[in-house]
Amino acid sequence: EFAHPILRDGFEKLKAMGHKKIYALPGMLFAAGHVKNDLPSEVNNFANENPDIDVKFGRDLAIDPKLLSAAKDRIEEALATVDDSIAREDTLLMVVGRGTNDPDANSNVYKVARMLQEGLGFGRTEISYSGVTHPRVNAGLREAMKLGYKRVVVFPYFLFAGILIDRIYTHTDEVAAEFGDVEFIKAGYLKDHPMVLASFAERLAEIDTGDNNMNCQLCKYREQIIGYEGDVGTPQVGHHHHVMGIGTDGGHSHGHDHGHGHGHHHHGHGHSHDHGHSHDHAHDDAKSTGS
């Protein structure tokens, strides 16, 4: 979105190199607006304009045992840097998600947090988000302080570094300064953990086997999800063209959340979310499968 090369430029470069088959794999943990709208729209537009190129689209990483294993390692790496004077049952784990305007994606953070709590034996696990939705990190941590835990592990469930990770750690430091009797530990994000790389390889293989369909049971574009009834069947249209690649132009930091509201304006593209939402996006002239 903010960085270069943007997706379209990547497609055009591969086209210029003469490639006739292109795999587009989202480097994203959960399927929200970018995976459900922006990326498929870009893929579909390029595929329609280039019927001689077979474009295939993978799905998001989603909740995966390998990613949970990577999360476990990052958390335990952080705990290994401190003494064991405080037991796990006296420790609270704060899992921080990105935050979107998609309730299905946001709810996945809760599921990840719960599975980590039960698997690692923490006394309690809470969640917060870096932006767009609530609770935000600082508010979530302050609320968690009311529970009386002696140690808090803050774990960003993120793939990559950047301004959001910096913001999470800054908010953690701010709250830690307010509660000097509680130990705060900042765990690392997922990064290039071997299990993360294995998950990407698996998603890539799924494209060829046809197993790259998303779970759409709770997709707000397909089902009437409480509070999002008006989003059912809205066109699948790319957004944020005004910010594509801008984060690496002129040193702009662009720490804003930009809402991810995706108003789903009708630009006449006809890519309706009422297409079964397996995200196959089958065209007569090209294939574009996945999320």
Domain boundary assignment for the chain: 1-59+212-291, 65-186
pLDDT band at residue 233 using 50, 70 and 90 as cut-offs: low
Topology of domain 65-186 in CATH is: Rossmann fold (3.40.50)
Q: State the pLDDT at residue 30.
A: 81
Residue 40 confidence (pLDDT) above 50: yes
Whether 95 has a pLDDT exceeding 80, the answer reads yes
The pTM (predicted TM-score) of the whole model is 0.75
* Separation CA 163–CA 217 (nearest Å): 33
- Mean pLDDT estimate for the chain: 81
pLDDT, average across residues 149-162 = 97
134/99 Cα distance (integer angstroms)? 8
Beta-bridge partners for 23:
56
Per-residue model confidence (pLDDT) at position 241: 52
pLDDT, tens digit, 9 for 90 and up, residues 238-285: 655 544 544 545 444 444 444 433 333 333 333 334 333 333 333 333
Tokens of 119: 């698997």
Quick one: pLDDT band at residue 237, thresholds 50, 70, 90?
A: low
Helix ranges, the chain (H): 7-16, 33, 39-49, 65-79, 103-120, 137-144, 163-178, 194-209
Give Cα 5 to chain centroid, integer Å. 19
Q: Which residues pair with 250 in a beta bridge?
A: none
Q: What angle do CA 128, 133, 138 make, to 5 degrees?
A: 40
Q: What percent of the chain has pLDDT over 70?
A: 70
Per-residue burial over 222-253, b if 16 or more Cβ lie within 10 Å, else e, is: beebeebeebeebbbbbbbeeebebbeeeeee
Helix (H) or strand (E) holding 178: helix 163-178
* Cα distances (Å, whole numbers) of residue 105 to 124, 131, 133: 22, 13, 11
Residue 131 C-alpha from the chain's centroid: 12
Tokens of 57: 């689209």
